[in-house]
Amino acid sequence: MLLAIDCGNTNALFAVHDGTKWRAQWRTATDTSRTADEYAVWLHQLLGMEKLDLNDINACIISTVVPQSLFHMRNLARRYLHCEPMVVGEGDLELGVTVRLDNPREVGADRLVNACGARTFLPGALLLVDSGTATTFDLVSSQGEFLGGAIAPGMYLALQALHDAAAKLPRIAIDKPAHTIGTNTVAAMQSGIFWGYVGLIDGLVRRIKAEYDEPLTVVGTGGISPLFSGSSETIERFESDLTIRGLLDIYNRNRGRS
Judge contact between 147 and 141, C-beta under 8 A.
yes
Indicate if 92 belongs to the active site.
Answer: no
Residues 191 and 136 in one domain: yes
Active-site pick, 6, 110, 130, 138: 110
Residues 107 and 161 in one domain: yes
Residues 71 and 109 in one domain: no
pLDDT at res. 150: 96
Please say which residue of 60, 87, 114 terminates a domain: 87
pLDDT at res. 167: 84
Structural domain count of the chain: 2
Write the CATH number for 114: 3.30.420.40
Question: Does pLDDT of 3 surpass 70?
Answer: yes
pLDDT in tens, 20-33: 999 999 999 999 99
Stretch 158-174: mean pLDDT, rounded?
89
pLDDT at res. 258: 56
- Concatenating the DSSP letter of every residue in 56-107 gives G--EEEEEES-HHHHHHHHHHHHHHS-SPPEETTSTT---SSEE-SSSGGGS
Residues 189 and 129 in one domain: yes
145-153 sheet: strands from edge to edge: 98-99, 145-153, 134-140, 125-131, 216-221, 237-238
Residues 210 and 135 in one domain: yes
**β partners of residue 152:** 135
pLDDT in tens, 30-80: 999 999 999 999 999 999 999 999 999 999 999 999 999 999 999 999 999
d(CA 42, CA 62): 17
Residues 79 and 108 in one domain: no
Distance between alpha carbon 129 and the CA centroid of its chain, in Å?
10
CB count within 10 Å of CB 160 equals: 13
Question: What's the DSSP call for residue 171?
Answer: P
pLDDT at res. 89: 87
Please say which residue of 61, 87, 113 terminates a domain: 87
d(CA 231, CA 191): 12
Q: Catalogue the long-range contacts made by 17-21 (C-beta closer than 8 Å, 24 or more residues apart).
A: 17/244, 17/248
Question: 56 lies in which domain range?
Answer: 2-87
pLDDT in tens, 78-114: 999 999 999 998 888 999 999 999 998 888 899 999 9
Please say which residue of 87, 117, 138 terminates a domain: 87
What predicted TM-score, i.e. pTM, was given to this entire model? 0.89
Phi-psi bin for 51: left (phi > 0), alpha (psi -120 to 50), beta? left
Percent of the chain with pLDDT over 90: 79
**β partners of residue 130:** 136, 221
Residues 14 and 49 in one domain: yes
CB count within 10 Å of CB 183 equals: 9
